[in-house]
Amino acid sequence: TTSKITVRAQPFSRFKCHCTICQEIYNKPYAEFVVVNAKNVELNKSDQLLFAKYRRPPALTRGICQNCQSPLVGFLRLAPFLKLAFIPIDRFEDPGALPAAQGHIFYHSRSEEIDDNLPKFSGYWKSELAVSQSVLKGLIQH
Ligand SMILES: [Zn+2]
């Protein structure tokens, strides 16, 4: 069965990530995920997550579900007081209720050209900055 995750707050932002790690572990040209405050995320006790830290950027701690062998959640500490959770949108019961995608990140390592109107961020720092800015905006508004 596919593990589901419980999120008790509206996500800050939503991005499509073209980094090589996402391509590898999702086996897709990019992964689409939302960013939420980790304190609002509840993991089911039945989920057996194996956490792996990748040295390559983005330096997320990624939890791979041992039941379905696919990534369930990634964690990143942005500041001493703020830990973020990155959750693939297909882990939500109702992905239609999620915010609209704000752009493509790590676009420099894309395996496929994307023809849409969303902003495309290339390079490590530009990609990180796009996510951070959107999260900060969300923090101020919530
Ligand atoms: Zn990625």
Ion ligand 1 — residues with CB under 5 Å?
A: 17, 19, 22
For ligand 1, the distance from its centroid to the CA atom of residue 39, given in whole angstroms, is: 22
Burial of 61 (0-12, 13-18, 19+ CB in 10 A): middle
> How close is the Cα of 83 to the center of ligand 1, in Å?
17
pLDDT for 30 equals 94
Distance 22 CA to ligand 1 centre (A): 4
Distance (Å) from CA 81 to ligand 1 centroid: 23
* Cβ contact 29:18 at 8 Å: yes
Residue 32 has pLDDT above 90, yes or no: yes
Domains of the chain with bracketed CATH = 5-141 (3.90.1590.10)
Over residues 84-102, mean pLDDT: 87
Q: What is the pTM of this model?
A: 0.84
